[in-house]
Amino acid sequence: MYPILLRIFQYIILLFAFLFLPLLANATHIVGGEMNYRCLGNDQYEISLTVFRDCDAGVPWFDDPASIGVYDGQTNAYLFQQLVYWDNAINDTLDIYLPDSCLIVPSNVCIHTTTYTDTITLPFRASGYTIAYQRCCRNYDIVNIVNATGNEAGATYWTHISSAALQGCNNSAVFREWPRVYLCSGVPIVFDHSAIDVDGDSIVYELCNPSDGATAVSPRPQPPNNPPYGNVTWQAPYHLGNMFGGADPLVIDPVTGLLTGTPQNLGVFLVGVCLKEYRNGNLISITRRDFQHVVGTCDRQTTADFDTTGLHCNKNLTYPFDNNSQVVTGTYHWTFDTLGTSTAVNPTYTFPDTGNYLITLVAGIGSPCIDTYSVNMDVRIEAMEIAVTPPQMVCTGDTILLVATDAYEGYSDSATYTWSPASAILSGQGTDSVWVVVNQSTQFRVDGINNYGCASSAFTSINVRQVDALFTTTTIPCNTSLVVQFQNQSTSNPINNNYLWQFGNLGSSTAANPSFVFADTGIHTVTLIAGAGSQCPDTFSMDIQVELRAMELQSIPDQTLCKGDSLWIKAVDIYEEYSSSATYTWTPSSAIAAGQGTDSVLVIANNSIQIQVAASNNYGCSSVIDFNIDVIEVEALFDTLDLACNISLSIPFVNASTSNLGSVNYEWSFDNLANSTAVNPIYTFPDTGTYTIQLIAGVGSLCPDTSLMDLYLPLYGVDLTAIAPQTVCVGDSVWLKVEDLLKNYSSSIHYTWSPNNQILAGQGTDSVLIIPTSSTSIQVAAINSHLCRDTSIGVIDVLAVEASFDTIDVLCNTSLIVPFVNTSTSNPVNNDYHWNFENLGTSTATHPTYSFPDTGSYVVSLVAGAGGQCPDTFSMDVYLPLHGLIMDANDVSVICKEDTVELTVTNSLDAYADWVNYQWYPTNEIIAGQGEDTAYALMDTNTTFIVIGVNSHGCIDTAYAQGTIIYISPTVNISAIPDSIFVGQTAQLVATDDINYSYSWRPDTTLSNYFIYDPIAKPRQSTIYNLAVTNQYGCTTNDSVQVLIRKPICGLPVVFVPNAFSPDQDGHNDVLMIRGNNITSVNMAIYNRWGQKVFETNDQNIGWDGSFKGKLMPPDVYGYYMRCVCDDGSELFTKGNITLLR
């Protein structure tokens, strides 16, 4: 059952692998790695696994943790696994560089690396140990191994620790450098693949097969699969002896580890390198690594290129040159055979004659990278430009010769011509001359092409003359005149505007589209001659019928009628004699009493209306006119306002008459007592009684109207007199009285006063007694026997005055002047006040201020509303102390910064308090006297001193004293250049330089001079130097600076190789030397750009003089490898470029 479940599980894994195959295509892959070990003693071994992944598809994903398996060295049995977690700090991106500085480093190659390191316990084991890390997958585009394209090729990085290695506490040899990732096709490889063995064992280098590993089904086995581990399968024609293919296979020197070869094929290639350690002639360990090289075409920073493709079919010998070079820096130089030169970017050159010339472009002049491009160019004129016989005017059926001429015929060997339209060609098609015949105007085109493929076209026209006479007339429906418009539809090719019109014996015209007025209606013959006077005129004649069909009604003036009147109206057609019949329609039909359908009707209108008459004759022509009938209507009507409770004999009349007239005149008669022409008159009758009123509306118009009314006029209302306003004091009473002026016209009247709560007596009568508590309004409402009503309102003002005052807080006063705050109230407002300050003085101010003679208690009184109807008095005992402080502090000054100054403060009211405490600020500058009226301060800068005093009464005051430093202390900036050095080196101390300063440095034992601003320091240990600077005023400033002694290092900038030298025997920089004063041993090799070693030394005192085998080397960029050991036992390996200058 278990094998079946395992098989199902594998199928599931395969399914997921296929589902996520697109993701794997964009994932990062294994590009190389190696495993090393180091013996720590006591069976402890440090295992180091270095893995390289590509990062051009994104951030590389490293295992976290990585599973390292440990197995028996003979039986391959699994012992245990060690999970090593990824340390993000131990990873880096490889520098992609090329040996030639003129080559461009590709941007799409990215390799990331990390190292897993852990310590494991390996007790002695006679069979030894195999330690392995296994992973999938390698890059699918590796071309020299099988299965890479299916993501099936994995990798195993492993090492074998033999029993001899265990017994000898061996350390595996470690390769010095990781090889370059990117290689240029056709450029030789020269790479130092040597290793370091701390045990001093002999090392033999060889190319070896990389190990295969995990698959996509199980890409990360934990633990790794058991040994033994197979090798990758080489894809033919590649093999271990020729991993790159090509004529110069990859080889490694077994002694030095120098890897050489020349890659030719493009692609990604896998390479394996092994080193074998021998001790006493016995193999004790093998270190394996594999890596991949990307071989591509390397672009140069400078590429010379140009073209003249735009010169095809040129008409002269002037050639523009398009510079397509790629240049970072530098200029250009053009050579035009032996004729001339140019330094322009895109020059133009005129050749003296046709022929073959050598053109050369040198690009990048003045830069380290120069390139040259040459072309043999055939200079000639290739153009074709043809002209053809000019346009002609012919008759239909004529035969014409057309000839084409090429302006550049002498520069070409042959040419062919194509004429169109081909249907008009009689003979000569394909040549430069043809015979044609046309029956209508035609445009001819000739297309020529010469033996260079250059073409040209030309056009000409043959115009055929043709004339056809034709015209029509425009029929104007319902015309009102005998004018006829003629439309000329004649055609002419070419256009001919000569016309002659003949209108019988009535007249003629030469206009293109004439208008002619006939004398009478009837049939008339008209003739048109088109092209009159030309070579081919044409004639056209037509009989036309001339008629007058219009209908037009004369306007009817507006009419005015009285309502109910009638009127006969007649419509007249001014063209009635030209038509045989006509019909008439009058609207609105409701206003037509007789004659509908004829030209005369009887109209009856009760309202103003518009009448329309529409007429049409036997030709279908029509006419419509409108006119108005205005009907005048007047209706007299009036009324009066409600007289039920009237209180006056003056009566207003409301005119409610209606009229459709814009303006109406009226005439009133008031029972023959008086007349009026006002629209809405008011009339005062002599007494109550009945009167006849008459209104005539529309006086003087066609239709006046009269209205009569009998009017009864009583006096039933109530008319109360106004209540006189009263002014009283609070608590006073007053009588109010009202009278009805029409009391004689009613039998009784009742009075109601409000508000009722203030009425003491008289409610219901015309007089009441009230006691108001505040200003108020009193209303009385009266009703008589006719139930008519009236009201009256009276106002009573009650005067209310209350005197009061207060003083502003004098708790901490410093003066005998007291301000008083008047808080009196008065209704209405009364600003009359009288103050008495214990008979010492008076005031009539609203808010007075009074200065008392001394401290003590005083009686102060205030009379509010003094001299008014209701004054009020208020008195208060005022106690006046002097509890405040009046402080003053004097400004002070010192000579120099940090001098001591005495500060003093005085209080003019000191006698009125038991004690005063003084606090001085800023407190950090007060050195003595805090709390006293005299204090001492240490001044560091110009300072404003603040003193705050608090006395026994709790009162506070503040005073200020300005402290000034008379002379400025020295301004000092101090620095050490550099501030960290190695023993034996010096540092320049620099302070502010001023002729008025004196300097004193401490300690002075390691200084060149301790009384100047810029001594040189040469300490043996890290030292702090103190400086005292004094100016001409005797003021001093102190500062310090530290010089650190650096621990010697085996690296930059202590140990380095210069990047340039000039072996020109001028005694300056003639020999390239390794720089460093702590080197014990060294090895340096220098190579030219082709990988050839031109110099090597193992002695720091022996440098390169720029020669090889006795010959001076040319100026160029050379590569170097340098390895050295320093005094502290540490080792440095560096590489780089050296520029040789001459």
Contact 155, 33 (CB under 8 A): yes
CATH number of 466-546: 2.60.40.10
Give whole-number Cα distances, 133 to 65, 211, 275, in Å. Answer: 11, 11, 19
CATH of the domain spanning 887-965, picked from 1.10.10.10, 3.30.2010.10, 2.40.37.10, 2.60.40.10: 2.60.40.10
pLDDT band for position 22 (cuts 50, 70, 90)? very low
Of the chain, the end-to-end C-alpha distance in Å amounts to 82
Specify the CATH number for 1060-1140; select among 1.10.10, 2.40.50, 2.60.40, 1.10.287.
Answer: 2.60.40
CATH assignment of 386-464?
2.60.40.10
Segment 635-664 shows an average pLDDT of 84
Beta bridge pairs of residue 447: 418, 457
- Return the exposure string of 472-507: e unless at least 16 CB atoms fall within 10 Å of the residue's CB, then b: eeeeeebbeeeebebebebebeeebeebbbbbeeee
Q: Give one DSSP letter per residue of 1016-1052, joined into a string.
A: EE--SS-EEEEEEEE-TTS-EEEEEEEEEEPPP-SST
Give the pLDDT band (50/70/90) at residue 10.
very low
At residue 543, the 3 state secondary structure works out as strand
666: β partners: 697
**What's the rounded mean pLDDT across residues 914-939?**
91
CA-to-CA distance for 840 and 832, rounded, in angstroms? 20
Q: Which residues of 1053-1081 are buried (b: 16+ CB within 10 A; e: fewer)?
A: ebbebeeebbbeeeeeeeebbbebebbee
Residue 1 has pLDDT above 70, yes or no: no
- CATH top class, domain 559-632: mainly beta
The two tokens of residue 1047 are 């621990």
Q: What's the chain's length in residues?
A: 1142
Contact between 277 and 284 under an 8 Å Cβ cutoff? The reply is: yes
Q: Strands of 952-1035 (E only): list them.
A: 956-965, 974-977, 980-981, 987-991, 998-1002, 1016-1017, 1023-1030
SS (H, E, C) 388-425: ECCCEEECCCCEEEEEEEECCHHHCCCEEEEEECHHHE
The larger pLDDT score, comparing residue 398 to residue 15, is at 398
Task: Work out the pLDDT band at 12, boundaries 50, 70, 90.
Answer: very low
848 by DSSP, 3-state: which?
coil
Note the pLDDT tens digit of each residue in 493-513: 767 778 899 988 888 988 889
Q: Are 1084 and 1121 in contact (CB under 8 A)?
A: yes
Determine the topology of domain 803-880 in CATH.
Answer: Immunoglobulin-like (2.60.40)
Write down the pLDDT at residue 546. Answer: 84
Q: Is the pLDDT of residue 107 over 70?
A: no
Q: Residues 1071-1124: pLDDT tens digits? A: 999 988 788 999 999 998 777 889 999 999 999 999 999 999 988 889 899 999
Helix (H, G, I), strand (E, B) or coil at 745: helix
pLDDT at 25 over 70: no
Q: Is 316 helix (H, G, I), strand (E, B) or coil?
A: coil
Residue 533 has pLDDT above 50, yes or no: yes
pLDDT of residue 88: 63
Alpha carbons 941 and 392: distance in angstroms, whole number: 109
Structure tokens at 458: 């030309």
Written as one string, the DSSP assignment of 213-256 is: ---SSSSS-SSPPPSP-PBPPBPTT-BTTBSS-SSS--EE-TTT
Residue with tokens 């493709």: 309
Residues 1007-1035 have a mean pLDDT of 91
Which residues are paired to 880 by β-bridges? 856
Q: How far apart are CA 1051 and CA 1075, in angstroms?
A: 10
Closest by CA to 625, choosing from 590, 604, 599, is 599
Place of tokens 């590709």: 106
**pLDDT of 1063 above 60:** yes
The helix/strand/coil state of 979 is coil
Pairing of strands 267-279, 202-207: antiparallel
Residue 94 clears pLDDT 50, i.e. is over it = yes
Phi (first) and psi of residue 873, to 5 degrees: -120, 140
The pLDDT, as a whole number, for residue 724 is 85
One-letter identity of residue 561: L
Any idea what DSSP says for residue 88?
T
The pLDDT, as a whole number, for residue 231 is 94
Name the strands in the sheet holding 892-894, side by side, starting at the edge strand that comes first in the sequence.
Answer: 892-894, 956-965, 943-951, 916-921
Q: Is 540 helix (H, G, I), strand (E, B) or coil?
A: strand
Residue 816 reports pLDDT greater than 70: yes
Q: For residue 1036, what are the CA distances in angstroms to 164, 261, 699, 900, 968?
A: 76, 74, 122, 15, 10
Are 763 and 769 within 8 A, CB to CB? no
Say how far apart CA 182 and CA 184 lie, in whole Å. 7
Using alpha carbons only, how large is the chain's radius of gyration in Å?
65
Per the CB < 8 A criterion, the answer to whether 46 and 62 are in contact is: no
Which residue, among 730, 786, 728, 780, has the nearest Cα to 753 in the 3D structure?
780
- DSSP for 264-286 reads -S-EEEEEEEEEEEEETTEEEEE
| pLDDT at position 802 | 85
In Å, how far are 436, 478, 521, 997 from 550, measured between CA atoms?
59, 4, 13, 124
Contact of 425 with 436, CB cutoff 8 Å: yes
Which of 3.30.70.1350, 3.30.70.20, 2.40.37.10, 2.60.40.10 would CATH assign to domain 634-710? 2.60.40.10
pLDDT at 921 over 90: yes
**b/e per residue 108-127 (b: at least 16 CB within 10 A):** eebbbbbbbebebebeeeee
Neighbours of 969 (CB within 10 A): 20
User: Rounded to the nearest 5°, which phi and psi values hold at 407?
Assistant: -65, -25
Output the CA torsion 87→89→90→94 (10° steps): 130
Peptide bond connecting 223 to the previous residue in cis, omega within 30 degrees of 0: yes
Q: Which CATH number fits domain 306-379: 3.30.230.10, 3.40.50.280, 1.10.10.10, 2.60.40.10?
A: 2.60.40.10
Integer Cα distance of 350 and 316 in angstroms: 8
pLDDT surpassing 90 at residue 418 = yes
- CB distance 51 to 116 below 8 Å: yes
Give the residue range(s) of CATH 2.60.40.10 domains in the chain.
306-379, 386-464, 466-546, 559-632, 634-710, 726-799, 803-880, 887-965, 974-1045
DSSP H helices in 400-495: none
H or E element: which one contains 320?
strand 318-320
Q: Say which CATH topology domain 974-1045 has.
A: Immunoglobulin-like (2.60.40)
* pLDDT confidence bin for 47, thresholds 50/70/90: very high
- What average pLDDT does the segment 556-579 reach? 86
- List the one residue out of 401, 373, 367, 407 whose CA is nearest residue 387: 407
CA distance 1040 to 327: 54
Poorest-pLDDT segment among 57-61, 651-655, 1125-1129 = 57-61
Check residue 1053 and give its pLDDT: 72
Q: Is pLDDT at 1005 greater than 60 in this prediction?
A: yes
Q: Which amino acid is at 1032?
A: Q
Q: Whole-number mean pLDDT of the chain?
A: 86
501-507 long-range Cβ contacts below 8 angstroms, 24+ apart:
501/526, 501/527, 501/528, 502/526, 502/527, 502/529
Q: How many other C-beta atoms are found inside a 10 Å radius of the C-beta of residue 581?
A: 7
Given a contact cutoff of 8 angstroms between Cβ atoms, the answer to whether 540 and 470 are in contact is: yes
> In the sheet where 433-437 sits, what is the strand order?
386-388, 399-406, 433-437, 425-427
Has residue 5 got a pLDDT over 50?
no
Q: Which CATH architecture has domain 726-799?
A: Sandwich (2.60)
Q: Is 74 helix (H, G, I), strand (E, B) or coil?
A: coil
Q: What percent of the chain has pLDDT over 70?
A: 94
Give the integer Cα–Cα distance in Å for 478 and 463.
Answer: 46
Give SS3 for 685. Answer: coil
